[in-house]
């Protein structure tokens, strides 16, 4: 499978001439990269993906795949795979027929189609369900059929719009591992749309964080989490404390795990624990400082230390190097 790089060049799209869904977006996605488009609902992720697929035409800007300008190429000639959130399986066809569809459109010989469909179904662990209709499959199985159907044509690019959104948490996590593993093994360029920041951090090589049609920041999960550039990114990814700064100075932010709970009297802020969210491996505390401000602190549970009780008085300690300076 030869994968291809994708380049978006100042792409914009507005609907009905008023809503700006995608606003001057430029992106470089490397061949073989697992790339996530992350952002809140309505920020333009799906529209961006649909322009790459060819379902929507940009109002301005160009889209290149594998070095060629495909802005004006019809959907069915783009040679891409796509997995929809609703899966969009053909309800009137069996699993085999669903997966074979793309190969049949390419008019490959029957024996080759049969061989490749079988291999694709084995790849996503669906052997034995060939004769079922989509309505006779569980959500996770439908998801796998959608994946096999997209991958069997050996696309240069695989586009996924919240492909795991309809699965329950446990299955979702399992599919995250499997999808990541499959992508790595096949080396296909994967553009993955999600509004779930944990999912994006866990799976991607790089993430583009979007807000209101614009790209806020592009970077590796560690960069996005550890060095957010804007208030929006810092707030959207994980939990964060915004620190008070002089008027006119750049805002600063601090991750809760960089804040240590100390006995009262130590540290920069004294206060009382207001709520304690037990998260299994750690607990997230909301501490109300005596000066009235709220701060978050995360404490991991080494050994069998029980979470602290709300009401307990604590001091909050952090060092200045751990705070991130934001651009805006």
Ligand X SMILES: Nc1ncnc2c1ncn2[C@@H]1O[C@H](COP(=O)(O)OP(=O)(O)OP(=O)(O)O)[C@@H](O)[C@H]1O
Applying CB under 8 A, the residues found at the interface with another protein are 53-55, 74-82, 84, 86, 88-92, 101-102, 105-106, 135, 149-150, 153
**Coil, strand or helix at 297:** strand
Neighbours of 301 (CB within 10 A): 14
Compute the least distance from the CB of residue 186 to another protein, in Å. 17
The residue whose Cβ lies closest to Mg ion is 46
The per-residue b/e assignment along 167-187, b for 16 or more CB within 10 angstroms, e otherwise, is beeeebeebbebbbebbeebe
Compute the least distance from the CB of residue 100 to Mg ion, in Å. 28
How many Å apart are CA 175 and CA 2, to the nearest integer?
A: 24
CA 41 from centroid of its chain's CA atoms: 13
Site string for ligand X, 181-200 (x = CB under 6 A): --------------x-----
Compute the least distance from the CB of residue 1 to ligand X, in Å. 27
Neighbours of 41 (CB within 10 A): 7
- Contacting ligand X (CB under 6 A), which of 5, 12, 42, 323? 42
Laid out side by side, the sheet with 252-254 consists of 241-243, 252-254, 324-325
The per-residue b/e assignment along 136-147, b for 16 or more CB within 10 angstroms, e otherwise, is ebeebbbbbbbb
Q: Is residue 142 part of the contact set for Mg ion (CB under 5 A)?
A: no
Give the binding range for Mg ion (CB under 5 A) out of 38-46, 101-109, 179-187, 269-277: 38-46
Q: Decide which of Mg ion, ligand X, another protein, none touches 79; Cβ closer than 5 to 8 Å per partner kind.
A: another protein
Q: Is residue 143 part of the contact set for Mg ion (CB under 5 A)?
A: no
Compute the least distance from the CB of residue 140 to ligand X, in Å. 21
Q: Which is nearer to Mg ion, 46 or 143 (CB)?
A: 46
C-alpha pair distances (Å), 211 with each of 23, 45, 196, 238, 265: 10, 9, 14, 16, 41
> Which has the closest alpha carbon to 1: 55, 94, 79, 104?
79
Q: Is residue 46 part of the contact set for ligand X (CB under 6 A)?
A: yes
Q: Decide which of Mg ion, another protein, ligand X, none touches 21; Cβ closer than 5 to 8 Å per partner kind.
A: ligand X
Q: Which is nearer to another protein, 5 or 108 (CB)?
A: 108
With residues binned 3-state (H G I as helix, E B as strand, rest as coil), the percentages for the chain, rounded to 5, are: 30, 30, 40
Specify whether the CB–CB gap between 144 and 131 falls below 8 A: no
Q: Is residue 45 part of the contact set for ligand X (CB under 6 A)?
A: yes
**Interface positions, 50-109, toward ligand X (CB under 6 A):** none
Q: Which is nearer to Mg ion, 157 or 276 (CB)?
A: 157
The site that binds ligand X (CB under 6 A) totals a number of residues, namely: 13
Q: Is residue 47 part of the contact set for ligand X (CB under 6 A)?
A: yes
Q: How would you classify the pairing of strands 260-262 and 269-278?
A: unpaired
Give the binding range for Mg ion (CB under 5 A) out of 46-54, 76-84, 226-234, 259-267: 46-54
Compute the least distance from the CB of residue 23 to Mg ion, in Å. 16
**Helix H or strand E segment including 179:** helix 169-186
Q: Is residue 47 part of the contact set for Mg ion (CB under 5 A)?
A: no
**Helix pair 139-151, 110-123: axis angle to 10 deg:** 130
Q: Which residues bind ligand X (CB under 6 A)?
A: 15-16, 19, 21, 39, 41-47, 195
Q: Which residues bind Mg ion (CB under 5 A)?
A: 46
């Amino acid at each position: 499978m030869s994968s291809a790089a994708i380049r978006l060049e100042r792409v914009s799209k507005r609907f009905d001439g008023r809503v700006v869904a995608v606003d001057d977006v430029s992106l470089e996605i490397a061949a073989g990269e697992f790339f996530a488009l992350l952002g809140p609902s309505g920020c333009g992720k799906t529209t961006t993906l649909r322009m790459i697929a060819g379902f929507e035409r940009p109002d301005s800007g160009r889209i290149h795949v594998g070095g060629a300008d495909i802005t004006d190429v019809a959907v069915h000639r783009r040679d891409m795979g796509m997995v929809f959130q609703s899966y969009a399986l053909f309800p009137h066809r069996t699993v085999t027929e669903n997966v074979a569809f793309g190969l049949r459109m390419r008019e490959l010989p029957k024996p080759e189609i049969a061989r490749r469909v079988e291999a694709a179904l084995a790849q996503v662990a669906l052997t034995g369900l060939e004769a079922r209709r989509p309505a006779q499959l569980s959500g996770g199985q439908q998801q796998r059929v959608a994946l096999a159907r997209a991958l069997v044509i050996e696309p240069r690019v695989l586009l996924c719009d919240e492909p795991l959104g309809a699965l329950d948490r446990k299955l979702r996590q399992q599919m995250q591992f499997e999808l990541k593993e499959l992508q790595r093994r096949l080396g296909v360029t994967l553009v993955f749309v999600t509004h779930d920041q944990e999912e994006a951090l866990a799976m991607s090589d790089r993430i583009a964080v979007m807000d209101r049609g614009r790209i806020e920041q592009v970077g590796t999960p560690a960069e996005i989490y550890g060095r957010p550039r804007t208030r929006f990114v810092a707030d959207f990814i994980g939990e964060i404390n915004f620190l008070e700064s002089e008027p006119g100075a750049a805002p600063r932010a601090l991750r809760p795990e960089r804040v240590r709970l100390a006995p009262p009297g130590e540290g920069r802020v004294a206060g009382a624990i207001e709520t304690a969210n037990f998260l299994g491996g750690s607990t997230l505390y909301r501490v109300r400082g005596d000066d009235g401000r709220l701060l978050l602190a995360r404490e991991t549970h080494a050994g069998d230390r029980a979470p602290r009780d709300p009401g307990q008085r604590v001091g909050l300690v952090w060092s200045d190097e751990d705070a991130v300076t934001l651009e805006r």
